[in-house]
Each structure stands twice: as structure tokens, then as C-alpha cells.
Amino acid sequence: MSYVSRLKATLNSRLPKHKALVARANEELLAMKAANLVPHQPSTMGNLSVQYQNGLFIGDQLMPIVTVSKKSDIYYVYDKRSRMSGPDDRIGNRATPNEINENRTTAIFSTKDFALTNYVDNEVLRNQDAPLDEMVDLVQAINDVIGLKREQRQAAILTTAGNYGANTAALAGIDQFDNAGNVSIIQKMQAMTEALWTGTNATRKVAFCSLEVWNAIARNPNIRGLFNYVQAGLATRQQVANFFGWDDILVSDARQDTANEGQTAAYGRIWGKVFGLVRVAAGPTIRSAQFGSTFRFAGDPVTDSWYNAGIGKSGGWYARVGLSEDYKVVASDTGFLYTAAIA
């Protein structure tokens, strides 16, 4: 009798010893399955992915957005001297009062167009697993980079000493905020406030710096000494702002890659090693005196998407985000900047 014939006979046998043999074989097969001998089928985790996000962007809070109906136009700049002096206001009987001067000039804004696109292949959409949502990422990725580019442009204006006229100074040596022997930090903070000019409309005094500059300020013994009997530990942003009569201190931890494409990434803080103080308009008007504004064309940003069937195996989706903006220093003497605030 062949092996197969004997196996069938054993499986179909009613003899107790054959039944026991078959039962023992079944138990061994179940044990092998329980021991994970069945191959694992890999799959994407539905509740975890890794994506980096940049730090806090503060440019829009320092140069507030002013919506404009034309892509370029003029605005008026009033002469501050007209409010700081005047003719003799004494008058005799039947005399004619002296006339005050109200001088003003004009300045121009001209918005520039900015836009970026992104693409996702239709095959990627068909094959995606949770938690991926490629159509959401398609636009979100553009907005993240558009925001980065705007932050870089605003930071370039706010961290450039030449945009502050006489209201700027470079710190060195013992005067830098991270120098252990620094004893002048309080006077230097007060000097910033003293240098600011004021306009006719409500503004907020807002200081700004990078995270590394703020950390040096927060642990400076002279700053911490102001609050020894109030709270232990490092000084907080609101404590320092309240002490100097400022409305806020904005601290950005945002980074940028300064290396050329194809080279090893070189990351640095967007806001560098400066410490500044500017007036920010509570609500920009034609008579506001604030340091700077972001002029944005009405209706922007514009977002659209379209399908291109002629690409790849089954086509894909493009998305675009575009806007028109200009970044202007409106009143340079309503700000003050320390460069090289730390070594």
C-alpha cells in the first residue's frame, strides 16, 4: 500500500489509536500557527507619520498686512517737525493769527507677484495609505514655503540697521547681552524706548528677537535681578515687557537653510543675533506712524488646482498659491535696533 493510501486509511479509521494520532497531529499544526510561523504582511501605520514644521513666524505681527485695492499707489508721509514747533500764537485786538505749517510728502508702494506650485501624481493618490492625505499636503506644503519666503523678506527689512536711520547701534564685548560682565542691559533697553517717535494713532511697542538672543536676555543676571522677589527662575517675556513698558516681546525659533541646493544643509535662525523694538499700528490708517507695513493686494492669496492627464501613467494634480505684496518701512524712527546683541 502506498503512503497516500495509508494516510487516507489512518484519517478515516475508527480505531482509537488512529483517532488519537490524528488529534495529536492537529494540535501540533495549531501550535505552529500560534507561534507566528505565518509570514507578516507589512502595512503603513495608520496613526503615525513624521513631518517637520518650522518655528514661529513673527513678521506679519511686526509689519501688519494692509489690504490695498491697487497693485501700486502713493501714500502720504507727514512731516513730524510740523507737530514739534509752531509760530507765535499770541494775538492782539483785530490782529490776524499766524498760520501753522502742515508739510507732507508722498511715498510709493508697488506690490510684486509671488507664487509657487506643487504636484502630486495620480498613482500616488491611488496608492496612499492612512495617515497620508496627499491632496491636503499638496497645498499645505506650498503655504508653508510661501510663509517662509515672506518671513525671510520681512526679517531682512527688520534686521537691517540701515532701515532705522540714527536709531541703531552695534553691541560689542561687555555690552553684548550674553556677556557675563554685562551691567548695561537695563539702560540699553530703556534707550530703545526713549528713541521711539510717536504718531497720532494707537500703536503697540513690540520687541523682537530670535530664540538664542532671548535665552541670553532671560538668563542675564541683571534682568533676573529685577524679579528676584517676585518669581524664581528665568525672566519671562511678559515680565520683561511690562517692566520696560512694552506691549509684547516676540521670540522666533524659526530656522532657514542657507546652503545652496545640492550642498549639505546649513540651518540658522531667520532672525539672527539682533534685538529690536518697533511701533506696530493697532489698526493701520492713513495717519498711522508705525515702523513698517505689508501691503497686500485685495483678494490675495489666490489658490487654485488643475488636473494634467498628460503626465506619467495616469496624470496628476497641480496646485498653485500666489499673491501680490510689498514690504515698506513707513516710519523708520518709530523703531530701534541693536545688532550683534550676542556674540
Provide the pLDDT for residue 218. 92
Q: What is the pLDDT of residues 259-308, one digit of tens each?
A: 998 899 999 999 999 999 999 998 766 567 899 999 999 999 999 999 99
Q: What is the pLDDT of residues 93-139, one digit of tens each?
A: 989 998 888 778 888 999 999 999 999 999 988 887 765 578 888 99
On whether the CB atoms of residues 197 and 289 are closer than 8 A, the answer is: yes
Least confident range from 81-85, 184-188, 329-333: namely 81-85
User: Does 339 have pLDDT greater than 90?
Assistant: yes
User: Does 148 have pLDDT greater than 80?
Assistant: yes
User: Does 15 have pLDDT greater than 90?
Assistant: no
User: Does 32 have pLDDT greater than 80?
Assistant: no
Spell out the SS3 assignment of the chain.
CCHHHHHHHHHHCCCHHHHHHHHHHHHHHHHHHHCCCCCCCCCCCCCCCCCCCCCCCCHHHHCCEEEECCCEEEEEEECHHHHCCCCCCCCCCCCCCCCCCCCEEEEEEECEEEEEEEEEEHHHHHHCCCCCCHHHHHHHHHHHHHHHHHHHHHHHHHCCHHHHCCCEEECCHHHCCCCCCCCCHHHHHHHHHHHCCCCCCCEEEEEEEEHHHHHHHHCCHHHHHHHCCCCCCCCCHHHHHHHHCCCEEEEECCEEECCCCCCCCCEEECCCCCEEEEEEECCCCCCCCCCEEEEEECCCCEEEEEEECCCCCCCEEEEEEEEEEEEEECCHHHEEEEECCCC
Where exactly are the structural domains of the chain?
A: 59-83+99-339
CA angle 206, 211, 213 (to 5 degrees): 80
pLDDT band at residue 30 under the 50/70/90 scheme? low
On whether the CB atoms of residues 220 and 177 are closer than 8 A, the answer is: yes
User: Does 44 have pLDDT greater than 60?
Assistant: no
User: Does 182 have pLDDT greater than 60?
Assistant: yes
pLDDT band at residue 9 under the 50/70/90 scheme? low
Q: What phi and psi values does residue 123 have, to the nearest 5 degrees?
A: -65, -30
Among candidates 217, 198, 221, 200, which has minimal Cα distance to 209? 217
Residues 6+ apart with CB under 8 A from 294: 59, 60, 63, 64, 65, 66, 150, 154, 325, 326, 327
Provide the pLDDT for residue 24. 72
pLDDT band at residue 11 under the 50/70/90 scheme? low
Provide the pLDDT for residue 4. 47
CA angle 91, 94, 97 (to 5 degrees): 40
User: Does 28 have pLDDT greater than 70?
Assistant: no
C-alpha cell at 296: 497686500
Strongest mean pLDDT among 6-10, 134-138, 189-193: 189-193
User: Does 321 have pLDDT greater than 90?
Assistant: yes
The answer to whether domain 59-83+99-339 has CATH 3.40.190.10 is: no
Single pTM value for the model: 0.80
Average pLDDT, the chain: 86
Provide the pLDDT for residue 53. 78
Q: What share of the chain in percent tops pLDDT 90?
A: 61
Strongest mean pLDDT among 15-24, 83-92, 244-253, 282-291: 244-253
CA angle 283, 289, 291 (to 5 degrees): 95
User: Does 337 have pLDDT greater than 80?
Assistant: yes
Provide the pLDDT for residue 104. 81
What are the angstrom distances between the C-alpha of 250 and each of 48, 139, 189, 222? 32, 28, 15, 21
User: Does 194 have pLDDT greater than 90?
Assistant: yes
Q: What is the pLDDT of residues 214-230, one digit of tens each?
A: 999 999 999 988 887 66
